[in-house]
Amino acid sequence: MATQSTHRSDRSSRLRIAAFGGIIALSGSLTACGGNGSAGADEDFPSSQIEMIVPWAAGGGTDLTTRQLAAQAEETCGTRIIISNQTGAAGATGHQAIADADPDGYTIGTATVEVSILNHLGNADVTPEDLQGIVKFQSTPSVLAVSSDSPYETFEDLVNGIEDGDQVHVATNGRGGIWDLAARGLGEEAGVGFTEYVPFDGAAGMIPAVLGGQVEALTPSGAEMRSQIEAGELRGLVTMSEERFEVLPDIPTTEEEGIEWKAANWFGVVAPAGTPEDRVEKLTECFTEAANTEEFQNFMAEQGYGSEVVEGEEFEQFMDDEFAKYEDLVATLY
């Protein structure tokens, strides 16, 4: 795999080439129009509707948050935004569609954490190199939780129990899923020998399995377990993040436990690599403004999502880091 600095260099090179191509095209247009400065100018971007690809089905979390963001962005970007759900292959179909779209700024999409994982599993060609980061708008960390009647009151209790011979089976969302990797990464970094990682069909299957005593622990997002934790049915032991999750602030983090492991489900607006830099800047400005609106922030809080607004180059660096992290983990585990 290329180094992270090479990824960033490749992106910068593509943007410079795209920008240079745009200058040549603009120059030709001006010449053809007798030097009329308004012809071909990009000050009016966006001047028509934007298509926003979502790699997941309508009605799911990615779709709903994207639609809420797009509703605000129609105001801040000044144009209509059409949502296009392009599903299949565990998110690979939609992510590839974003990467393959014309890099003109009029087709963008929502990337999710899966774009950092799928390529390593051999399930997709698309990688973060094929995308241009605009703004990350959501990050919700994995939480290791147990039933409220579990003997484990803390993560340290669980570790000590395993060291003493306890059997701890962990419910996950299956091989290569973000919550499976979250659990396995935690086990690797903390030196915890979980007995088995048991696959279920998402949190809807994982939560009843723990409450019913089929398995001892689970690792979906805090948002997916919020109601059960607040009701006292589940007990969160550790959040896989640097800072405490604002939705469940009483649960300590891996950082506090001295464990170098973080895992979260994140969403971010992206464009195809090679999109002209000036258009990327405009999209970044108007989507960041949309993500920071009171209406969008209130929606995220009501849904229990972690609102984390990270734009431009910082978002790109984050995607590169995620890609490298999961490359190492997948190579170790599978």
CA distance 179 to 189: 15
The answer to whether position 258 is within a domain reads: no
Same domain flag for 128 and 271: yes
Same domain flag for 27 and 136: yes
Structure tokens at 150: 């579990």
Cis-peptide, bond into residue 276, ω within 30° of zero: no
Query: How high is the pLDDT of residue 43?
Result: 76
Query: How high is the pLDDT of residue 54?
Result: 99
CA distance 69 to 64: 9
pLDDT at 313 over 60: yes
Same domain flag for 57 and 78: yes
Same domain flag for 211 and 271: no
Same domain flag for 136 and 268: yes
Same domain flag for 153 and 115: no
Query: How high is the pLDDT of residue 132?
Result: 98
| pLDDT tens sequence across 167-212 | 999 999 999 999 999 999 999 999 999 999 999 999 999 999 999 9
Query: Where among 204, 239, 274 does a domain terminate?
Result: 239
The answer to whether position 250 is within a domain reads: no
Length of the chain measured in residues:
334
Same domain flag for 17 and 57: yes
What CATH number is given to the structural domain containing 106?
Answer: 3.40.190.150
Pairing of strands 234-239, 169-172: unpaired
Same domain flag for 33 and 62: yes
| pLDDT tens sequence across 138-157 | 999 999 999 999 999 999 99
Mean pLDDT of the chain: 90
pTM score over 0.75: yes
| pLDDT tens sequence across 161-175 | 999 999 999 999 999
pLDDT at 41 over 60: no
Helices (H), the chain: 4-32, 61-77, 92-100, 155-163, 178-190, 203-211, 222-230, 277-291, 294-303, 312-333
| pLDDT tens sequence across 227-253 | 999 999 999 999 999 999 999 999 999
What CATH number is given to the structural domain containing 192?
Answer: 3.40.190.10
CB contact at 8 A, 108 and 271: yes
Q: Which amino acid is at 143?
A: V
The torsion angles phi and psi of 192, rounded to 5 degrees, stand at -100, 125
Query: How high is the pLDDT of residue 334?
Result: 80
Same domain flag for 300 and 206: no
232 is in which domain, residue-wise?
A: 143-239
Domain count along the chain = 2
The answer to whether position 24 is within a domain reads: yes
Query: Where among 180, 206, 239 does a domain terminate?
Result: 239
Q: Which amino acid is at 315?
A: F
Same domain flag for 134 and 152: no
CA distance 184 to 319: 20
Share of the chain above pLDDT 70, in %: 87
CA distance 154 to 238: 8
Same domain flag for 127 and 154: no
pLDDT at 323 over 90: yes
How confident is the model over 96-110, as a mean pLDDT? 98
The answer to whether position 249 is within a domain reads: no
**Residue 147 CB partners (closer than 8 Å, separation 6+):** 210, 211, 213, 216, 233, 234, 235
pLDDT at 13 over 80: no
Same domain flag for 9 and 63: yes
| pLDDT tens sequence across 104-141 | 999 999 999 999 999 999 999 999 999 999 999 999 99
CA distance 116 to 320: 8
pLDDT at 283 over 70: yes
The answer to whether position 148 is within a domain reads: yes
**Residue 273 CB partners (closer than 8 Å, separation 6+):** 11, 14, 99, 103, 129, 130, 131, 132
Reported as a pLDDT band with limits 50, 70 and 90, residue 15 is: very low
